[in-house]
Amino acid sequence: MRFINIISSLLAFVLICTVFPLGVLAENQSISVQTTGIVKSSVNVSKDSTANGSMAIQSMDEVANINENSNIDDEIIVIYQNNNASVGDLALTTQEIKGGETVSDRVDILEVADSNNVDSIVTKLSENPNVLVAEKNSYIQTSALPNDPLLSLEWQFERIDADKTWNQVNNSQAVVVAVIDTGLNLKHPDLIGKTVTGYDYVNGTSDMKDLSGHGTEVSGCIAAVSNNNIGISGIAGTANVKIAPYRVGGTYDNDANLDVGYICAALYDAAGRSDVKVINMSFGGYDASAALRTAVENAANAGKVLVAAAGNEGSNADYSGEFAIPASYNNVISVGATTDTNEIAYFSQHNSMVDLCAPGYKIYTTNHDGDYQLASGTSFSSPITAGACAVLLAANPSLTNTKVETILENTALDFGAPGKDDYYGYGMIQLDAALAAVTPSIPLSIDNFTANKIPDQTVGTPIVLSASASGGQGSYSYGFYYELNGETNTIQNYSTSNTTTFTPTIAGIYTLYVEVKDGDNNITRKAINNFVIKDSAVKTTSIAYRTHVENIGWQDFVSDGALSGTTDQSLRLEGIEINASAQDYNLGVEYKTHVQDIGWQNFVADGTMSGTTGQSLRLEAIQIDLTGTDADLFDIYYQVHAQNVGWLGWAKNGASAGTAGLSYRLEGIRIQIVPKGSTAPGSTDTPFISN
């Protein structure tokens, strides 16, 4: 989109972030971050002409795109009442509007043809029943002034007692923090595997970058990988907390302008995502914005925990004690910054809306160059608090946004005047005390779930399943089930008996699982995956394979439909080796993989590696086919587990399995050989998806 000199807007919106290069301990200085646009939707022009020759605008195809040289003072943010409204409902003409872009389903940005008419068009749009909010667009600015070898530099860990909690929470379902900022360096070695898909409104793509640096610094405070022998650790520790980066500004190093229109679109998007539980806003300004307030209220009403930087103008005579937005909205946790001596930082804004404080002075964190640096500002006390909120939700997903804030306030370490005050709020967050307030002392868990037979049994073999539970309340009831070909069947309904016998009658790859219910009707589940049951007849063909897994390396060979790789651990497959064998048949196998940043590799055969090792490149898709003079007697089926999708359908005989154009990694694979024309091992719906 467009980027202009930001000097004229510095009085309206205040930079809250100061960054110190590694080893330099300087005072907080302002930096700025800017937004650019998403892929612009153009506007369609109605064929109806007015008396002066202009035309009524019916769609964005009828006006020009907003370009880089556009003046943001000539732009208007429009938030529609609902997803069905569009620019065609605004009764505007090409004489009034010369450019525009559709930022999201609910947000448009319009460029006014005559600068003198901006206010009058805002008034006109505000009276339109299809419009929720219309206001002049503007920039708002960033607020920046375990065995990890650099952990000793992270003094903030000890101050909020995160050093006591870093490995206490190990949730399977990720808690996602939306970081609305300048993007993220997805290739930073201390952030790999800690992200989910976000959106770059600057370039209109789900591909992510960070030219400014601020977003990567903020994200490292939350989720830098713990216990990986690299760099630092985020406040989340080993809890399954991930970042959804939203780029709403930043086109060059230390650029601190964020586009308010893009921020609103990002807030609406994050509010609509079920995986996003927390939203971090390390930016702030002092001019009222009905659009920003409306977008924030929508996210709060959606149940999201909203955390924002209180501001860096505490020592600025022009702004000291003023209310920065969005931090000062009632439904946002406003966070001030403390130093390593537990004093409020000289720059930290103070007012009656400050709720909490957290370390924000000389914070050691990740940077967009792939390294680390010191940074100061409430921009960093905010994500430290947002990360703490995510840990609480990881420990107890049923917590509401208001309950999370209440727990943090009730367990905060009180500084300053007794009780809540304008500088520290309720005090400095204490993650260990907060976590103790939400974590059950003895949660319901399944200690053991076993089968008395190993996999690869034949049809008709009795298999005894046993389980034991602990924690929770009252007595336990056990339910046993199996899943085959996408269908779930009951072995034993809920009963006080913790053992049952299962006798399979069909060959296939089973998932066996038990559910335990306690006296308070809390339920937990545990599974045995890839339990292979074979036909009683002698098997004459076999397929063996192994995969190279991120952070693990080569796994052992498995065969005939068993899982190789992982599921739901955010670990990518990087390479694969496959061998086929058949008694009394001439049979071989060939295969090729689609590799991140490389594309389809050439076919290899019979145990040769396809893919890469040690290059941090993911496999995204695979094709496998049988070779040899007897290949036409058999079908080869394969199924992959893809990031953010799960198990896709079974592909066969050289068809593609996986994804293309979505930047999703393959995490696991199953392969089987069956006689030609046999029933597929499972559903064959959608084995391959592409953008």
- 3 state SS for 585-612: CCCEEEEEEEECCCEECCCEECCCCEEC
Q: Report how far Cα 452 is from the mean position of its chain's Cα atoms.
A: 40
Q: Are 530 and 509 in contact (CB under 8 A)?
A: yes
Structure tokens at 91: 């009764």
Q: For this structure, is 181 an active site residue?
A: yes
Question: Whats the size of the chain, residue-wise?
Answer: 691
Contacts of 391 (CB under 8 A, 6+ apart): 165, 169, 175, 235, 236, 237, 239, 241, 431, 435
Q: What does DSSP assign to residue 561?
A: T
The H or E element spanning position 111 is: strand 107-112
Structure tokens at 34: 């800017």
Q: How many CB atoms lie within 10 A of CB 27?
A: 10
Backbone angles phi, psi at 674, to 5 degrees: -135, 155
Q: Are 215 and 244 in contact (CB under 8 A)?
A: no
Catalytic residue among 104, 219, 376, 379: 379
Q: Which residue has the tokens 């196998």?
A: 589
Q: Are 148 and 231 in contact (CB under 8 A)?
A: yes
Backbone angles phi, psi at 514, to 5 degrees: -125, 145
CA dihedral 581, 582, 588, 591 (to 10 degrees): -60
Tell me the β-bridge partners of 653.
none
CA dihedral 378, 383, 385, 386 (to 10 degrees): 140
Q: What does the DSSP assignment read for 33-59?
A: ------SPP-EEEEEEE-TTS-EEEEE
Backbone angles phi, psi at 483, to 5 degrees: -120, 130
- By CB atoms closer than 10 A (0-12, 13-18, 19+), residue 416 is middle
Spatial separation of the C-alpha atoms in residues 231 and 369, rounded to whole Å: 14
Going by C-alpha positions, the residue among 138, 135, 154 that lies closest to residue 146 is: 154
Three-state SS at 544: strand
Spatial separation of the C-alpha atoms in residues 163 and 160, rounded to whole Å: 8
Catalytic residue among 148, 181, 269, 560: 181
Residue 219 Cα distances to 30, 213, 481, 535, 668, angstroms: 19, 10, 41, 52, 28
Catalytic residue among 41, 148, 190, 214: 214
Structure tokens at 63: 């006006």
- Ordered alpha helix ranges (H), 396-547: 401-410, 431-438
Q: What does DSSP assign to residue 664?
A: P
Q: Are 408 and 425 in contact (CB under 8 A)?
A: no
Going by C-alpha positions, the residue among 313, 331, 307, 515 that lies closest to residue 392 is: 307
Spatial separation of the C-alpha atoms in residues 97 and 627, rounded to whole Å: 63
- Ordered alpha helix ranges (H), 250-377: 260-271, 290-301
Q: For this structure, is 548 an active site residue?
A: no
Q: For this structure, is 398 an active site residue?
A: no
Q: Which strands, in side-by-side order, build the sheet including 487-495?
A: 457-458, 523-534, 508-517, 477-484, 487-495
Q: Which residues are catalytic?
A: 181, 214, 379
